[in-house]
Structure 1
Amino acid sequence: MATVSEAVTARHSTRAFVPRAVEEGVLREIVDVARYAPSSGNLQPWKLVVLTGAPLERLKAAVSHTLAQAPRGEGMGYPIYPEHLQAAYQARRSQCAEDLYATLGVARDDRLGRGQQFVRNFRFFDAPVGMILAIDRSLEVGQWADLGGFLQTLMLLAHERGLATCAQACWTLVHRTVERQLALGPEWMVFCGVALGYADPDQPINGLRTQREALSEVADFRGFAQ
């Protein structure tokens, strides 16, 4: 099994999976341990729906129908990015997209190719397991931070067991369909989807590794002896 440091540095978003089932016992074990992720006031503000087989196919079919009627989706349940993203962040986002499509041989002006790849999000990239992570609508920004901690914990635990994941904020674009299909109840808001399974090592897209800023750019150490 991977150490925490190894899992953090080696885990990456996987967008191509082999058709190998994941045992229910393994999934239950991962989620059971992820429950121990910290949260402010111990609110534990998350709800996770784990799907495979027929329930997963029904969700994908419902979303496919929605997108056939409304290709741009149903409107976002929450804004993934601010309307005016500052230049430094936009540069990172653009570079990530360029690098991703380069692995597929999809050119910048190939709108059809890019669109086809984006739609694969809503099939969980054909992963054998799809998860939907939701948060109570009544909660505040601090609880959204807690939700991120739970999500990271979940993905690291999956990596420890040889599984690959991809967190997908785009599921908020079809939040109404997802909430209705999964009968989440009006109090729950879809935060993201998570594709999970065994990575296909032969697919170039799985070789993508996004860049990280230097330590000196993200952390300022003060009061330490030089």
Structure 2
Amino acid sequence: MDTVTTIEDALLTRRSCRAFLPTPVPRAQVERLLSLAARSASNSNCQPWQVHVLTGAAKRALTADLLRAHDAERRAEAGEFDYQPRADQWPEPFRARRRRFGESLYRDTLGIAVDDTTGRRGHHRRNYDFFGAPVGIILTVSRAPLQGALVDAGLFLQALMLAARGAGLHTCAQASLIDFHPVLRRHLAIADDHVVVCGLALGHADEGHRLSAHRTTRESVASFAAFYDSASYDSGVAPGADSA
């Protein structure tokens, strides 16, 4: 088992795993990971999250229903919150980054051409079986402090994914499940005052699958961080400003 021993190792080896082995993950281990994730910060310690864990027959039943809805194109008319813009409405630089991700996943790793709609749809369909993971998780948060609760959910999710790496497991966060939130509500006891944030696949990575080689890049610190220190304060010049 490829356990990691430091937070740095967990961050460097965490990835969106899209091919899992059927090897079961004991319930006690899942509960331990959730208890670690629950140490996450939240606004005024409100802890607005709820977690629904599916394995075995319960997961198979949900997967079958999700696949039927997907194949019949019965997506919800509207999401429970505004997660992302339509494909043609992404501004730069996010449009280019999204395009590069799609090319690296579909074309370079899977060998699926840009115009191969059937191939792309077939891979996307695997989301609804949690990419073969033995554990499927649905994360929800309260509608009451929604904007803040979504931030809290992100903190919880990241903590859970890093805790999983510490245990030698892999994960994949899945926003695609939002499209079928009515199906999720038929199978899970999701409170009316909660919204579905995302799904999460959890298990042991299938390192023999070609998807195990897929990696994404990250922007440099210089591209997104501005540093304010004594020198910039004393000079009266804002970081990045033209001092000429």
| Aligned equivalents of 2:10, 2:186: Cα separation in 1 | 35
The one-letter code sitting in structure 2 at the alignment partner of 1:151 is L
From 126, 136, 147, the equivalent of 2:142 is: 136
Closer/same/farther in 2, CA of residues 74 and 161 from structure 1, 3 Å limit: same
Alpha-carbon distance between aligned partners in 1 of 2:80 and 2:124, rounded to the nearest angstrom: 18
Work out the CA distance in 2 between the residues paired with 1:148 and 1:128: 23
Q: CA deviation at 1:62?
A: 1.7
- Which of these residues, 62, 66, 71, is aligned with residue 63 of structure 1? 66
Q: Structure 1 residue 15 and structure 2 residue 13: aligned?
A: no
Q: Which residue of 1 aligns with 2:34?
A: 31
Alpha-carbon shift at residue 67 of structure 1 (Å): 2.3
Higher mean C-alpha displacement, 75-84 vs 162-171? 75-84
With over 3 angstroms needed to count, the CA separation of the structure-2 counterparts of 1:72 and 1:98, relative to structure 1, is farther
Q: Does 1:194 align with 2:200?
A: yes
Q: TM-score, normalised by structure 1?
A: 0.95
- 2:223 maps to 1:217: yes
Larger Cα-atom Rg: 2
Aligned residues: 225
Deviations 1:60-117 (A, max 9, x none): 1221222233x15123332321343212001111111110112111111100000000
| CA offset digits 1:181-210 (Å, max 9, x no partner) | 112131121110000100011112121111
Task: Tell me how far 1:225 sits from its aligned partner.
Answer: 6.4
Q: Percent identity, please.
A: 38
What RMSD, in angstroms, separates the aligned Cα atoms of the two structures?
A: 1.5
Match of 2:98 in 1: 93
Partners of 1:68 and 1:111 in 2: CA distance: 14
Q: Distance in 1 between the 2:74 and 2:9 partners? A: 38
**Structure 2 counterpart of 1:206, which letter?**
S
Once the two structures are superposed, the pairs formed by residues 34-183 of structure 1 within 5 Å of their partners are 34-69=37-72, 71=73, 73-75=75-77, 76-83=79-86, 84-101=89-106, 102-183=108-189
Distance 1:107 1:210 in 2: 19
